[in-house]
Amino acid sequence: MTAQRIIRMGNPILEQLADEILDPESDEIKALIADMIDSMHEADGVGLAAPQIGVSLRAVVFCTPPEPPETSDQEDEEEEGSPGAPGDPRRDVIRAQPITILINPEIETLDEEMELGIEGCLSVPGLCGPVPRYLRIRYTGIGTDGERIDRTVEGFHARVVQHECDHLDGILYPMRMEDISRLAYVDEIQLINEVDIEDTKVEQPQGLEA
């Protein structure tokens, strides 16, 4: 299949409520998913939603984040909270993970706890900002072979899924930011190497690039 152009903020397709996919196992949907995966890899991303290549359908793909190792030190936990950043070696680990294909996804929040994390987006290139996300979620959906997907996840995995599924509802991450003045250029953040967000230090942007 072929990598497609990723459309950017300002394109009205990114503002639409995407349509449900009626036949997840059709050849057309399998071709769409293949194009999405190629486009994600071509752009060096860790996730992509169908609207980002101009197709307003409810499908997302992402590199399934590995489970974080157990840590007993708070500083280690904070560092582990920022995988996927441009320049972060853990980004390559994430991109090497199996790809999850999720059609007609649904998200259930499991508690009200949220956390701030830096996000970027392939449709908002060059920028990043702190976004609050639910820490623990359950997500369900369908794969291209008709299999049912049902997972309970937390942390970065939960963040990736929430970010991607927002695209299906016409939401870009800047719309989730509590303070839009904190929107910044990724390369500037990398220069200072460390960002303070509400008294929490996060080493380099998570840069979902999704």
Active-site residue set: 164
The Cα–Cα gap between 148 and 124 comes to 31
Q: How far is CA 44 from CA 28, 72, 117, 119, 163, in A?
A: 24, 32, 20, 15, 17
CB 123 within 8 A of CB 8: yes
Q: What 8-state DSSP symbol labels residue 197?
A: E
Phi, psi at residue 98, to the nearest 5°? -60, 150
Partners of 62 in the beta sheet? 47, 100
The Cα–Cα gap between 95 and 62 comes to 9
